[in-house]
């Protein structure tokens, strides 16, 4: 039975890599062309999910192979990050501009939108170079060859199943990774006690994202409690992402307003900086108020007792628990010897 379960994990690894590698390949052309802003988002999501899969399935894939693939995928995601951030801010600024009725506010917001569009256009050649470099690395082809060579026999393709104590023992490396990521997430949640702790909130967002993607990679072999946890983490990640966006946008606006008020409107020179300040100031205040509202929702959600019970249930069941169960636990897998480096 242990061999069958290991073959089921191998099948899960194949399916996971195949799904997200194909998603990445489909989105690269759109990111290269720049015509579809959603394409860069899809590339980055596929990269994050692949990196999560490399981590949780590293004992199956092999650490040398994982290090090589992770390096290539991580570099691609990093190079596309700034472009994606600008795409999101441009969309948010467009939506805000459409809501403004005070004519005194329009010049500043319209100017800021044009500035963002110009900066985004300047980044597209870097995006193309990053895509070309990634394609030349052969990472996608190497992944494709791996999952084609790692044959799973039909007899071993059944769902892993019934005996959760046995399953947890077979999944010791994966459970240890999940436990460490849950511990890091819970530790980072302490930052929610301080609304001004922007760095702490950023770390909390990253920890939530890593825990969510790691759980999602293993959902077919985990209990239903993990499914509930994933849904909660999606909500947390969404709010935390909004907060991070507002922090980044506000900092960028702060810098822009200082330059405009000093008589340097960045370009062109014929602009009257005094007409820009009201709109920029109003946009900055809008982001500040929006951040407060979203942060309050996030903190209220994360401090609910039922959410604390959810994390506790995951720990006690070693991620194999069922929402209907009373909380029976199995022996904890031994985590010694696994590195805890960040993905």
pLDDT tens column, 309-334? 999 999 888 787 665 543 443 334 43
As a whole number of angstroms, the distance between CA 56 and CA 15 comes to 14
- The per-residue DSSP string of 244-301 comes to HHHHHHHHHHHHHHHHHHTT--SS-TTS-HHHHHHHHHHHHHHHHHHHHHHHHHHHHH
As a whole number of angstroms, the distance between CA 284 and CA 125 comes to 30
| Token digits of residue 169 | 């023992």
- Beta carbons of 317 and 225 less than 8 angstroms apart: yes
Residues 6+ positions from 325 with CB-CB distance below 8 Å: 223, 317
pTM for this prediction: 0.84
SS3 category, 78 = helix
As a whole number of angstroms, the distance between CA 313 and CA 310 comes to 5
Q: What is the pLDDT of residue 48?
A: 95
Q: What is the pLDDT of residue 323?
A: 57
Q: What is the pLDDT of residue 38?
A: 93
Task: Return the closest-CA partner of residue 79 out of 155, 2, 23, 137.
Answer: 137
| Token digits of residue 49 | 């999910």
**Which residue in this structure is represented by tokens 């470099």?**
133
Q: What is the pLDDT of residue 321?
A: 62
Q: What is the pLDDT of residue 279?
A: 95
The parts of the chain modelled with pLDDT lower than 50 are: 1-5, 153-166, 325-343
| Token digits of residue 142 | 């190497």
């Amino acid at each position: 039975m242990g061999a069958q379960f290991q073959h089921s994990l191998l099948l899960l690894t194949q399916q996971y890599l195949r799904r997200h590698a194909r998603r990445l390949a489909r989105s690269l052309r759109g990111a290269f062309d720049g015509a579809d802003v959603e394409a860069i988002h899809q590339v980055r999501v596929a990269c994050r999910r692949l990196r999560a899969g490399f981590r949780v399935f590293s004992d199956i894939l092999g650490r040398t192979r994982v290090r090589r693939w992770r390096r290539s995928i991580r570099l691609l995601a990093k190079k596309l990050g700034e472009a994606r951030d600008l795409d999101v801010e441009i969309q948010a600024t467009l939506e805000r501009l459409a809501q403004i009725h005070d004519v005194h506010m329009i010049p500043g917001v319209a100017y800021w939108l044009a500035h963002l569009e110009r900066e985004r256009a300047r980044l597209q050649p870097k995006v193309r170079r990053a895509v070309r470099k990634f394609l030349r690395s052969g990472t996608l082809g190497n992944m494709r060859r791996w999952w084609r060579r790692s044959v799973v026999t039909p007899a071993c393709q059944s769902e892993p199943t019934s005996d959760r104590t046995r399953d947890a023992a077979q999944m010791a490396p994966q459970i240890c990774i999940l436990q460490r990521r849950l511990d890091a997430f819970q530790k980072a949640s302490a930052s929610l006690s301080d609304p001004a702790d922007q760095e702490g909130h950023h770390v909390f967002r990253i920890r939530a994202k890593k825990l969510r993607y790691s759980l999602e990679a293993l959902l077919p072999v985990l209990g239903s409690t993990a499914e509930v946890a994933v849904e909660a983490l999606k909500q947390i990640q969404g709010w935390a992402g909004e907060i991070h966006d507002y922090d980044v946008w506000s900092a960028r606006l702060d810098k822009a307003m200082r330059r405009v008020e000093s008589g340097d409107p960045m370009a062109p020179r014929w602009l009257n900086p005094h007409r820009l300040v009201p709109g920029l100031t109003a946009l900055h205040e809008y982001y500040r108020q929006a951040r407060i509202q979203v942060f309050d929702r996030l903190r209220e959600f994360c401090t609910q007792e039922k959410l604390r019970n959810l994390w506790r249930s995951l720990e006690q069941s070693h991620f194999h628990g069922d929402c209907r169960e009373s909380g029976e636990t199995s022996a904890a897998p031994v985590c010694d010897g696994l590195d805890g480096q960040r993905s």
